[in-house]
Chain A
Amino acid sequence: MRFDLLEKELDRFQEEWAQSFLKGNGYMSKAPYPAVNIYQSEEGAELVALVSGYSSEDLDISVYENTVRLKGNISAPQHTEGMTLEKREIVRNEFTRTFELNFRIDSSKIEATYKNGVLRVKLPRMEEDKPKKITITKE
């Protein structure tokens, strides 16, 4: 299965992420949009995004045929009202991430859950796109 990311920033993001994590400095990614993993099975795919700092109301998921789009909006944090920012390492922006899968998504069966800054979106395949087992008859 192959996933084509539509965003041009992917290469840059992957390079930055690889440098920041895979090469061993142990830091979370500092990319300006949430990191995403995608898992696959015959039943479909699951998109898992790290969206800490966004509430579920800040997030919007839309699906069209084989494409899933995740959008995040920023609402002003209430816990910092009246305070001055002294040190900043966290980057949080409005973002849009779009992923194209190699099967059509059954939009009537999508499930999305959010817990502790982790968004999980289950994207089932359309029934007719699921792998079919072919019975071989003996001659």
Chain B
Amino acid sequence: MNTNVEVRKETHPETHKERALTPYAEVWNSDEKTLIVLDMPGVDESTLQVNFHENELKVEAKPLNLGITSALAYREFQLGKYFRKFNVSGSYDLSKTQANYKNGQLLIYLYKKQPLAIQIPVTVG
């Protein structure tokens, strides 16, 4: 079965004037499903949104408020809003799509439509 997830990087989406971070992704495949893993540490899980519309999978989330009042002495990161789109082609049963956020990673499972297998009775004569 031909299925494909095109990993698109959209840094400044037109619909989002607010600056957004693009989370890194992994795409895994098997005969039954496709798994998209997104690295999204520090997300406020109540703001997580995963939408699928016309072959476009859109993920967005806002960061946790860490509530730190101490002075920043050393910095390697800055939390922010996450946003990313994926183009998904192929036959997926969207009603089975699942998303789970765990340990700072969003796991999106897309289940493939299984080919219809029926036995055709053959009449003779």
Contacts and interface: CB of A to CB of B under 8 A. Distances in A.
Interface of A: 1, 3, 13-14, 17, 21, 25-30, 35-41, 45-46, 48, 50-55, 79-80, 82-90, 115-118, 120
Interface residues of B, number: 43
B93 interface: no
| Majority DSSP secondary structure for residues of A touching B | mixed
A40 B41 CA distance: 22
Contacts of B91: none
A118 B41 contact: yes
Interface of B: 5, 7, 9, 11-12, 19-30, 33, 35, 37, 39-43, 45, 64, 66, 68, 70-78, 101, 103-105, 107
Contact of A52 (B7, B9, B70, B104): B104
A135 B78 CA distance: 40
Given A3-B73, A21-B78, A87-B7, A27 B103 contact: no
